Amino acid sequence: MRIVQKFGGTSVADVDRIRNVAQKVKREVDAGHEVAVVVSAMAGTTNQLVKWTNDILKAQKYPDPREYDVVVSTGEQITTGLLALALQDIGIPARSWMSWQIPVRTDDAFAKARIESIRGEEMIADMKKGVVAVVPGFQGVTAEGRVTTLGRGGSDTSAVALAAAIKADRCDIYTDVDGVYTADPRIVAKARKLDRITYEEMLESASQGAKVLQVRSVEMGMKHHVRIQVLSSFSDAPGTLIVDEDEIVEKALVSGITYSRDEAKITVVKVADRPGVAAGLFGPLSDANINVDMIVQNVSDDGKTDITFTVPKADKERAVDCIKGLKASIGYEAIKSDSNVVKLSVIGVGMRSHAGVAQRMFKTLSDKGINIQVISTSEIKISVLIAEEYTELALRALHTAYGLDGE
Amino acid sequence: MRIVQKFGGTSVADVDRIRNVAQKVKREVDAGHEVAVVVSAMAGTTNQLVKWTNDILKAQKYPDPREYDVVVSTGEQITTGLLALALQDIGIPARSWMSWQIPVRTDDAFAKARIESIRGEEMIADMKKGVVAVVPGFQGVTAEGRVTTLGRGGSDTSAVALAAAIKADRCDIYTDVDGVYTADPRIVAKARKLDRITYEEMLESASQGAKVLQVRSVEMGMKHHVRIQVLSSFSDAPGTLIVDEDEIVEKALVSGITYSRDEAKITVVKVADRPGVAAGLFGPLSDANINVDMIVQNVSDDGKTDITFTVPKADKERAVDCIKGLKASIGYEAIKSDSNVVKLSVIGVGMRSHAGVAQRMFKTLSDKGINIQVISTSEIKISVLIAEEYTELALRALHTAYGLDGE
């Protein structure tokens, strides 16, 4: 088997932890596998590097992203060399491969680049001889040979892209949680760790606020059919495998319930209910780079309607200011906004073929006296917006209602 | 004019100092010059990186030099990006060039590599457009594309090699001293800064303990006729220019007096005075990687002689142990060793054509009652070993005797 292992910043935070990582790599090598390891920077290093690129500026507000990338990419390079040394020290042949040596080609969107191709012939040849390849995550090199970074969290994407490129049988993402849960176990004591979950469910979970894996890495895994395992650096328990739907025999109706507190609700009151009003409202918000998520429009009354939608909490003020500037063009009576909301999402590929999933959600919340403010659905997800104070109550009730409770 | 500027670790120790360096670069750009800048790692960074490569090892004693180089070379890469940002911030177009982008080709003696060639066509084209090139010192890349470092102090060599490769008119080495002095000004208050000094004198000074420039960088400057200027990062005073002998009109008899406390004296007492004894003694020392410097052999008496020589202070015990093992093969009566010695050297290209230079040294020391223990000479240098306690007295007396005293 050929395996890619990825270790994040807390897993390589100091030399002792890097030695611990070397033991996890050794286990796979001892099992006869060919191994490539993708590493993040030691925890804290990237923040220090980013800080320097800002502190150095007096006149300019933002650093040139090309030079930013040169500085910030060094963090992972340090870890690759140290892990190669730690592996050699326990008798495992290993070498580091810089992005430009492999090469990992990206586009030239510096500081937020996307991987375009990974050749890696020489690296694979070396792996076939039993040498572990240690690769810096989060970075690449343009066709012109300049250093790029993929943006924060990009190391997950690096690992999955590498796994796809070298046709690895599995991509193990080691983190500080030991897998994907049916709900946040800090809130729902009866939450269970899932053995398997589909790419689509994982994708919905990631975009609905679960922070286990970066969205782009899951997309890439789905596209290239890379079996991704999420597991803990600090225990030996098996994790959660993210796979194609046909690899899951017993499909649960609902695989998990997520929540996101990063939402704010805005209502534009008594807008004229005529064509072009929605475009006149959401166009300027999009131009201002404000991401609108859930949208609901009331039934028209006297040719007027209310439009309610959510935006990231951090963008609430900017969104309200933006809409104030639209008073003349779209016409409305008032703007109301509320940050004390939470979005709950019930996710599961099983709901494609089952009716009544949404109804069970609405009834459960209603039974607890919780008012639903906004609803949105996709093929495998139902999301509702409720008052934030009900977060824990609602999560636990839904977890029980969908039969997810463990022992 | 095309100029290379080199800034050491204390000159780029933090973001404020890097901004200060940017001003020094701006001055040359404003004067209409094309500029390439070679930088060291921020002071302390390299030590931290080296420490990690050692701390990570439990079983092995030394890190694999290839991975050591990957880790340690990141220090300068950080500084290049930060200086490029600082230059852009004050309106100077600038970009960083990694060793593998230029490329700076070295041999594959990892951790102590030697520069073989620097192409730099693309970089020169960029410089001609008015873009300052910022280059990491102390590193390069092998023909196979692996990262190397040049060994400690290698940034000076990087700068001079780059200056030679891009045919720079001058290579300015910015340090924490403001030039080359006739003697160490901390000891000799009347020491003067030299406007000019020849490569050969500088080379002798460097190998005799003056720590202004790395020996290899001076050798390279001499070989490629690179005009090197040593000057201070922290003042605006002109420094000392290191040039070919024919660029110096008024040649002084003696240009400077150096001292080295890094010497220990060993005497092997009553060795048989027969062919092969010296080889039998110095061969094994050389095999043990112990550098023997001055050597003197007494006149034979009864077929026996004493051999006295110096080794680096740090190697004294190892040298004595080594000689103990030779008792059977070369035969001697006793070994004596002494660390309380200092080597004084009088250096000057003028002494090639003048007699009496050595005599003046011997007389001056004799007048002060200082006993000379060992003498060695080269074409432009006379060195003597004396008891360490006389260091200051001897330095000042010689400085006056050779007419070097300033105001």
Chain B residue closest in CA terms to A64: B85
Contacts for A336 with CB less than 8 Å, ≥ 6 apart: A266, A267, A269
A295: in domain:
no
Task: Give the nearest chain B residue to A78 (CA atoms).
Answer: B71
Could you report the per-residue pLDDT of A50-85, keeping only the tens digit for each?
A: 999 999 999 999 999 999 999 999 999 999 999 999
The token duo for A244 is 């194609």
| Cα–Cα nearest to A395, from A203, A253, A191 | A191
Contact A88 B55 (CB under 8 A): no
Chain B residues with CB-CB distance to A55 below 8 A: 15
Please answer yes or no on whether B84 and A67 come within 8 Å at the CB atom. yes
Contact (CB<8Å) B56/A146: no
CB B198 within 8 A of CB B248: yes
Residue B407 has pLDDT above 80, yes or no: no
Contacts of A197 (CB under 8 A, 6+ apart): A180, A205, A240, A241, A242, A243, A248, A255, A256
CB-based contacts of A364, cutoff 8 Å, min separation 6: A397, A398, A401
Q: Which chain B residues are Cβ-neighbours of A122 within 8 angstroms?
A: none
The H or E element containing residue B376 is strand B374-378
Q: How many CB atoms lie within 10 A of CB A99?
A: 25
B146 and A101 within 8 Å at the Cβ level: the answer is yes
User: Is A85:B67 a contact under the CB 8 Å cutoff?
Assistant: yes
Question: Which two structure tokens, joined as six digits, stand for B132?
Answer: 């300052």
> Is residue B287 in a domain?
no
pLDDT for residue B51 is more than 70: yes
Residue recorded with tokens 């499909």: A251
Which of B56, B81, B89 is the closest to A59 by Cβ? B89
List CB contacts of B241: < 8 A, sequence separation 6 or more. B195, B196, B197, B227, B228, B229
pLDDT score recorded for residue A355 = 81
Strands B2-7 and B34-39 turn out to be parallel
Share of chain B above pLDDT 90, in %: 81
The total domain count for chain B is 1
Phi then psi dihedrals of residue B162, to 5 deg = -65, -45
Q: CB-CB: which of A58, A89, A147 is closest to B59?
A: A89
Residue A59 gets which letter from DSSP? S
CB B168 within 8 A of CB B124: no
Residue labelled with tokens 């997309």 = A219
Residues of B whose CB is below 8 A from A146: 101
The predicted pLDDT at position B44 comes to 92
Chain B contact set for A74 (CB, 8 A): 74, 77-78
Mind telling me how many Å the CA of A102 is from chain B's nearest CA?
A: 10
* Amino acid letter for position B255: S
- Which tens digits make up the pLDDT trace of B56-103? 999 999 999 999 999 999 999 999 999 999 999 999 999 999 999 999
Contact A66 B146 (CB under 8 A): no
Q: List B374's β-bridge partners, or say none.
A: B385
- Is the pLDDT reported for residue B254 higher than 80? yes
In the prediction, which pLDDT does B330 show?
87
Are B63 and A83 spatial neighbours (Cβ–Cβ below 8 Å)? no
Reduce the secondary structure of B264-325 to three states and give it as a string: EEEEEEEEECCCCHHHHHHHHHHHCCCCCCCEEECCCECCEEEEEEEEEHHHHHHHHHHHHC
Range of the domain at B146: 2-176
Inter-chain residue contact A64 with B85, CB threshold 8 Å? yes
For testing contact with chain B, the best of A12, A71, A92, A147 (most B CBs within 10 A)? A71
- The answer to whether A90 contacts B59, with C-beta atoms less than 8 Å apart, is yes
d(CA A139, CA B99): 18
Chain A positions touching B90 (Cβ under 8 A) are: 58-59
Residues of A whose CB is below 8 A from B81? 53, 67-71
The chain B residue lying nearest A12, using CA atoms, is: B56
> From the CB of residue A37, how many other CB atoms can be counted at a distance below 10 Å?
30
Residue B298 has pLDDT above 90, yes or no: no
For residue A181, what is the DSSP state? B
- Collect all residues with Cβ–Cβ distance below 8 Å to A235 and sequence separation of at least 6: A178
Q: Rounded to a whole number, what is the largest CA-CA distance in chain A? A: 79
Query: Is the pLDDT at A186 greater than 80, yes or no?
Result: yes
- At residue A26, the pLDDT reads 98
Separation between Cα atoms, residue A350 and residue A358, nearest integer Å: 12
- Kindly state the greatest CA–CA separation across chain B: 79
Residue A285 inside a domain? The answer is no
**Nearest alpha-carbon partner for A203 in A217, A215, A221, A220:** A215
CB pair distance less than 8 Å for A85 and B53? yes
The pLDDT value given to residue A274: 82
The pLDDT of residue A89: 98
Mean pLDDT of all residues belonging to chain A: 93
Instruction: For the beta carbon of residue B375, count every other beta carbon within 10 angstroms.
Output: 14
B334 C-beta neighbours (distance < 10 Å), count? 9
Dist. CA A362–CA A402, nearest whole Å:
12
Residues of A in contact with B89 (CB under 8 A): 56-60
Task: Give the distance from residue A7's alpha carbon to the nearest chain B alpha carbon, in angstroms.
Answer: 17
Q: How far apart are CA B108 and CA B110, in angstroms?
A: 5
- Chain A residues whose C-beta is within 8 A of a chain B C-beta are 15, 18-19, 49, 52-53, 55-60, 63-64, 66-71, 74, 77-78, 80-82, 84-86, 88-91, 95-96, 98, 100-101, 145-147
Judge whether B166 lies within some domain: yes
B146: nearest CA partner in chain A: A101
- Identify whether A383 is part of a domain: no
Residue A71 to residue B60, Cβ atoms within 8 A: no
The model's confidence at residue B246, banded by pLDDT at 50, 70 and 90, is: confident
Closest CA to A296 of A329, A328, A343, A239: A343
Strands A115-118 and A147-149: unpaired
**Which of A313-327, A368-382, B129-143, B289-303 is the least confident region?**
B289-303
Tokens 């007492």 locate to B269
The pLDDT of residue A194 is 93
pLDDT given at position A249: 75
Contact B96 A70 (CB under 8 A): yes
Q: Mean pLDDT, to the nearest integer, of B325-347?
A: 93
Q: Min CA distance, A263 vs chain B (Å)? A: 36
Q: Which of B25, B61, B67 would you mutate first to test chain A, the one with the most A CBs within 10 A? A: B67
- The phi, psi pair for A392, rounded to 5°, reads -65, -45
Average pLDDT taken over every residue of chain B: 93
Q: How far off is chain A from B61, nearest CA to CA, in Å?
A: 9
pLDDT at B153: 65
Predicted confidence at residue B165, as pLDDT, reads: 95
Question: Is the confidence at residue A37, as pLDDT, over 70?
Answer: yes
For A89, A239, B23, the CA distances from B127, given in Å and listed in that order, are: 44, 53, 18
Position B374 pLDDT exceeds 70: yes
For residue A94 the two structure tokens come to 């290993």
Q: Which residues of B touch A (CB under 8 A)?
A: 15, 18-19, 49, 52-53, 55-60, 63-64, 66-71, 74, 77-78, 80-82, 84-86, 88-91, 95-96, 98, 100-101, 145-147
Chain A: give the shortest CA distance to residue B176, in Å: 22
* Residues B28 and B6 sit within 8 Å (Cβ to Cβ): no
3-state helix/strand/coil string of A337-376: EECCEEEEEEECHHHHCCCCHHHHHHHHHHHCCCCCCEEE
CA nearest to A90 within chain B: B59
CB contact under 8 A, A71 and B52: no
Q: How far is A36 from chain B (nearest CA, A)?
A: 16
Chain B hits for A88, CB-CB cut-off 8 Å, are 60, 64, 67
Give A221's contacts (C-beta < 8 A, 6+ positions apart): A160, A163, A164, A171, A199, A227, A228, A242
pLDDT over threshold 90, residue A353: no
Q: What is the CATH number of the domain that holds B8?
A: 3.40.1160.10
A145 within 8 A of B101, measured Cβ to Cβ: yes
Report yes or no on A358 lying in a domain: no
Q: Which of A67, A68, A126 to mutate to test the interface with B (most CBs of B within 10 A)?
A: A67
How high is the pLDDT of residue B157?
94
Residue B247 located in a structural domain: no
pLDDT over threshold 70, residue A122: yes
One-letter amino acid for residue B195 of the chain: D
Element (H, E) at A204: helix A199-207
pLDDT of residue A366: 95
Tokens of A162: 């590498």
Length of chain A: 407
A389 in a structural domain: no
Q: How far apart are CA B242 and CA B247, in angstroms?
A: 9
Contact between A342 and A398 (Cβ < 8 Å): no
Residue of B nearest to A22 (CA): B56
Give the minimum alpha-carbon distance from A236 to chain B in angstroms, rounded to a whole number: 22
B329 — pLDDT class (breaks 50, 70, 90): confident
Cβ within 8 Å, pair B67-A96: yes
Give the helix, strand, coil percentages of chain A, each rounded to 5. 35, 25, 40
Instruction: Nearest by CB to B85, from A19, A57, A147: name it.
Output: A57
Q: What is the pLDDT of residue B275?
A: 82
pLDDT for the residue A278? 86
- Asked whether residue A344 carries a pLDDT value surpassing 90, the answer given is yes
Q: How many CB pairs under 8 A join A and B?
A: 117
Edge to edge, the sheet with strand A240-243 lists A94-96, A132-136, A34-39, A2-7, A170-175, A228-232, A240-243, A196-198
Contact A214, A153 (CB under 8 A): yes
Q: What share of chain B is helix, strand, coil (3-state, %, to 5)?
A: 35, 25, 40
- The 10s digit of each residue's pLDDT in B173-202 is 998 888 999 999 999 999 999 999 999 999
According to the model, what pLDDT value does residue B278 have? 87
Beta bridge partners of B241: B196, B229
Half-sphere exposure of B305 (CA within 13 A, CB side): 15
Q: At B208, phi and psi to the nearest 5?
A: -95, 15
CA–CA separation, B282 vs A175, rounded Å?
Answer: 58
Do B15 and A52 lie within an 8 Å CB cutoff? yes
Give me the count of residues in chain B: 407
User: Residue B211 pLDDT more than 80?
Assistant: no
Question: What ipTM was assigned to the predicted interfaces of this complex?
Answer: 0.85
The reply to whether residue B98 touches residue A147, judged by beta carbons under 8 angstroms, is: yes
Find the radius of gyration of the CA atoms of chain A. 24
The pLDDT, as a whole number, for residue A90 is 98
